[in-house]
């Protein structure tokens, strides 16, 4: 299965939210859509799930326009929006049964699908608990469960780990990694650690424009020889940050250890470091520095 975006743009009045994005996604892995808030990630996802129509360009599934496919395309989709409403007085089981009815899943299949998805997201022991008693992490897992009810071949998740504690974020990543084995999964986030272990390709978006698309390893490799580490005093750090991007700081008793992004050695004591995804994020999305 191949999902293609061909020069897709979306304009709202005088603002071009997505600008001529071209991508090709295939089954068998998680695609990480990375960018700062306001980069156009949600707009792009809403076009992929056919909630919003492109102003120009087209989205194709195996060569067919998704708009022409209509319900045939939507039956292949699972979507978890950034903000998902729950009926807090419902139990998890009742809520998912209700979602089955909205998705057109027959009663004869619904109960089995609900039980299966609850197991997938680790909520089988909370099936009869009221949603109002759930933690944010449990609600996020329930959000994934509703997206899985129709066994989608294309799963779209918009900022699914926002607000989760580290334990829930790890659990969530493990679920996503498993789901990505045999379907197209696109995960939108601005949190680097969400992508570090789970995605096969990263898609970097900023101000509506596609600025990079490759494996995490290849994107990091582009920054080889451009990441440095140096121990500095506070004045040196202040001088440095006015000329270079700094992707990380750690404080020690005898100074401040900084990760610095620079093509040439920024200070005499700086040594080269292997790039990390945090360096990639700062390189593409960090504030500009003085030349």
Q: How do the pLDDT tens digits run along the chain, 291 residues long?
A: 899 999 999 999 888 999 999 999 999 889 999 988 889 999 999 999 999 999 999 999 999 999 999 889 999 999 999 877 888 899 999 999 999 998 889 888 999 999 999 998 889 999 999 999 998 888 888 998 999 999 999 999 988 877 677 877 787 788 888 888 889 999 998 777 777 767 889 999 999 999 999 998 999 999 999 999 999 998 989 988 889 999 999 998 888 999 999 999 999 999 999 999 899 999 998 865 443
User: Can you read off the two tokens belonging to residue 234?
Assistant: 């506070």
Cα-Cα end-to-end distance for the chain: 46
Domain positions in the chain are 2-214, 223-285
Three-state DSSP class for 40? coil
Return d(Cα 70, Cα 139) in angstroms, integer. 30
d(CA 262, CA 30): 31
């808030």: which residue's tokens? 37
Structure token pair of residue 134: 């759930």
213 within 8 A of 203, measured Cβ to Cβ: yes
**What pLDDT, on the 0 to 100 scale, is given for residue 209?**
95
Query: From the CB of residue 198, how many other CB atoms can be counted at a distance below 10 Å?
Result: 22
- Pairing relation of β-strands 255-261 and 227-232? antiparallel
pTM: 0.86
Distance in angstroms (rounded) separating the CA atoms of residues 76 and 29: 16
* Three-state DSSP state, 155: strand
Instruction: Extract the tokens encoding 100.
Output: 């089955």
What contacts 209, CB < 8 A, 6 or more positions away? 19, 20, 21, 40
Quick one: fold of 2-214? Rossmann fold (3.40.50)
Instruction: Give the integer Cα–Cα distance in Å for 35 and 284.
Output: 9
């Amino acid at each position: 299965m191949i999902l293609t975006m061909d020069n897709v743009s979306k304009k709202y009045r005088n603002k071009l939210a997505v600008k001529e994005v071209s991508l090709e996604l295939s089954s068998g892995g998680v695609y990480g859509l990375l960018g700062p808030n306001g980069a156009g990630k949600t707009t792009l996802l809403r076009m992929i799930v056919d909630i919003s129509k492109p102003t120009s360009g087209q989205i194709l599934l195996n060569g067919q326009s998704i708009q022409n496919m209509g319900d045939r395309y939507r039956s292949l989709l699972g979507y978890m929006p950034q903000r998902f409403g729950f009926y807090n007085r419902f139990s998890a089981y009742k809520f998912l049964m209700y979602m089955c009815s909205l998705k057109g899943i027959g009663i004869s299949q619904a109960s089995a699908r609900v039980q299966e998805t609850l197991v997938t997201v680790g909520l089988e022991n909370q099936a009869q608990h009221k949603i109002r008693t759930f933690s944010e992490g449990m609600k996020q897992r329930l959000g994934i469960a509703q997206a899985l009810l129709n066994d989608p071949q294309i799963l779209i998740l918009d900022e699914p780990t926002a607000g989760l504690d580290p334990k829930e974020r790890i659990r969530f990543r493990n679920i996503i990694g498993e789901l990505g084995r045999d379907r197209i999964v696109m995960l939108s986030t601005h949190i680097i650690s969400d992508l570090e272990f789970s995605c096969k390709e990263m898609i970097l978006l900023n101000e509506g424009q596609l600025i990079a698309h490759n494996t995490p390893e290849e994107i990091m490799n582009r920054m080889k020889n451009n990441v440095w580490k140096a121990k500095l005093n506070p004045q040196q750090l202040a001088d440095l940050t006015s000329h270079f991007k700094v992707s990380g700081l750690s404080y020690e008793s005898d100074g401040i250890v900084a990760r610095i992004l620079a093509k040439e050695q920024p200070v005499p004591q700086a040594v080269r470091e292997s790039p990390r995804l945090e360096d990639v994020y700062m390189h593409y999305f960090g504030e500009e520095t003085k030349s």
